[in-house]
Every structure is written in C-alpha cells, then in structure tokens.
Amino acid sequence: MSVVEATPVTVAAPEPGRGVRLVRRLLHNPLAMTSLVVLLVAVVVAVASPWLAPYSPEQTDFSHTFSPPGTPGHLLGTDDLGRDVLSRLMLGARASLEVALLAMATAMVVAVPLGLAAGYFRRWDAVISRFTDLLLAFPFLILAVGLAAIRGASLGNAAIAIGIAQVPSVIRVVRSDTLHLKSLDFVAASIADGAGDLWVLGRHVLPNATSVILVQATVALPAAILGEAVLSFLGLGIQPPSPSLGTMLATAQQFAARAPWAAVLPGVVIMVLALAFNVFGDALRDALDPRGSRR
C-alpha cells in the first residue's frame, strides 16, 4: 500500500473558549444573575420542600381556616381547610418544576432527533414537516383534553401533553440550524472526507447546534410552568389534594373575596418562576448571539 493516507480533514469548528466567554457575558449581566439566583433558590426550596415546609401540605386544621398572612405559626396564612399556604406553595412549586422539567425533556427527546433528521436528510424533510404541521393542528389544551379523556388526568399526562405541544417549534428551530450547519465548510469537508451521516451529525452538527437547543430548552421551561398551572387549574393536571399552584388557584377562586391571599400568592409564585426562566433565557440568547448585540 503505497497510497498516501489521506489525513483526516479537521477544520476547527468551535472557537476555543466559547464556553468561557459565554459564562463571562452572563456574569456581567445583572438581570441574568438575578434570575439565576431566583431559580437556584427555587430549585433548592423545591428539592428540600418535604423537610423545609413547616406543615404537611395536606394537613387540615378546621379550627384555623382562613387565617390571614402573618398569623403566628402560619407565615402566609391558611386556606379554606386550614392548610398552611406556605407549605402548599413550596410543594406546589416543586410539582411545577417537576412537570416543567419532564415536559421539556419530553419535547427535547422527541424534537431534537427529528429536527436534526429533517435538516440533514432531504428525503425525511417533507415527512417530518407534515408531522410538525399535524402536531401544530392540536393546540396544547386540546391535546391535553384528548389525553385526559383517553388516559385520565395526572401529573405525567399533563407533562406529556405540554411536552408534545412544544415539539413542533423545537423541530423547526433545530431543523433550520441543521440546514445552516450542513452548508458550512467544516461539515462539507467532513462529508467529503467520507464520514458517515451519523458521525457527521453526532460529531459536528449536534455539538454546534447545542446553543440553539439550549435556548429552546430555556424557552420551553416557563411555557411548561404556565401550562401546568393552566391544566391543574382546570382539573386536567395534578389531582387534589396533592398541592399544585394551579389547583391552589382553582380552589382559592371559590373564596377569593374572603381569603384573597390564597388567590394571589400562588399566581405570584408561578409568575416569578416563569419570569426568572424568561429573563434568563433572554440573557442566554443575547450572550450566545454572535452579533453580541442586545436584541
């Protein structure tokens, strides 16, 4: 064999230190840091809530119903059954984050491979695009309604419905990023070098699509938190007496004039969680934007 071995073409795709630059940019953004701190506190409280909560969230106390916030022993008051609002908020936030993570994971696991395939393999594009259109035709709540009718209402089914509803937009974004990456020199070089499709996808396309996928995941989380709240509020998600921010609002609605705190506080927690994810997502997108401008 006297043939000169072709040296593998390695065109440097990711510039070194990209991650470091990203972290540095985020560290210099006060809004990003504030939202990150809020999220970290929320996650810690959510994880530790079974030990942190002053009461069991389902423990009723009929001699102390509708205690206003500030009542000794009940910092944020009690609800119609004398349950401690603070404890229920903590465990409700935990359930919200669980559903949000589960929904986001569902969306990513389904959508990322489909998006990559649609962008990379021309033959699959039309099929996957029709699939995307089909999913889009079933709005999230209608999907959840159908799923609840078929499989019953539960935390898991709510997460699946929310996740599936997020699949189309993630497919579209990953697809267009893959199309773009496929047209770049280093991918073309790798293909010309005889690399297999799966190798090119796994080695070159996916790592470079990470930032886009990351942004999509951050966008999916606040939407999932709002989605869980809506479903539980309507009775299609987490079932009472399990605490959920949505079910808390649904019951509080019935006595809102008498105990407004029970109707206001869960909404505030939902909003703070969603806002923190949205602000952090915006900051992440800005930091990843090669133009570096705030858009």
Out of 37, 134, 185, 241, name the contact with other proteins by CB under 8 A.
Answer: 134
Burial of 284 per CB tally in 10 Å (0-12, 13-18, 19+): buried
CB of 131 to other proteins, least distance (A): 9
Three-state DSSP class for residue 73: coil
Q: Which residue stretch of 15-23, 59-67, 179-187, 273-281 sits at the interface with other proteins (rule: CB under 8 A)?
A: 273-281
Q: Write the binding mask 170 to 199 for other proteins: x where contact by CB under 8 A, - elsewhere.
A: ------------------------------
Element (H, E) at 279: helix 260-288
Closest by CA position to 291, among listed 25, 29, 39: 25
CA 2 to chain centre: 56
226 sits near other proteins (criterion: CB under 8 A): yes
Out of 94, 99, 103, 140, name the contact with other proteins by CB under 8 A.
Answer: 140
271 sits near other proteins (criterion: CB under 8 A): yes
82 sits near other proteins (criterion: CB under 8 A): no
Closest by CA position to 163, among listed 215, 99, 209: 99
Other beta carbons within 10 Å of 260 = 13
CB of 213 to other proteins, least distance (A): 20
Beta-carbon contacts of residue 179 (< 8 Å; ≥ 6 apart): 119
Q: Are 121 and 177 in contact (CB under 8 A)?
A: no
Q: Which residue stretch of 56-64, 86-94, 142-150, 195-203 sits at the interface with other proteins (rule: CB under 8 A)?
A: 142-150
Out of 133, 202, 240, 292, name the contact with other proteins by CB under 8 A.
Answer: 133
Three-state DSSP class for residue 108: helix
Dihedral angle sign, alpha carbons of residues 59, 64, 69, 75: negative
Out of 1, 20, 150, 198, name the contact with other proteins by CB under 8 A.
Answer: 150
Beta-carbon contacts of residue 175 (< 8 Å; ≥ 6 apart): 115, 116, 118, 119, 125, 128
Out of 270, 284, 287, 288, name the contact with other proteins by CB under 8 A.
Answer: 270
Q: Which residues pair with 84 in a beta bridge?
A: 78
CB of 164 to other proteins, least distance (A): 12
Other beta carbons within 10 Å of 274 = 19
Out of 40, 137, 199, 207, name the contact with other proteins by CB under 8 A.
Answer: 137
Give whichever of 208 and 228 is closer to other proteins, judged by the CB atom.
Answer: 228
Q: Which of residues 236-265 bind other proteins (CB under 8 A)?
A: 236, 249, 252-253, 256-257, 260, 263-264
Interface with other proteins (CB under 8 A), residue total 43
Site for other proteins, rule CB under 8 A = 130, 133-134, 136-142, 145-146, 148-150, 165, 222, 226, 229-230, 233-236, 249, 252-253, 256-257, 260, 263-264, 266-267, 270-271, 274-275, 277-279, 282, 295
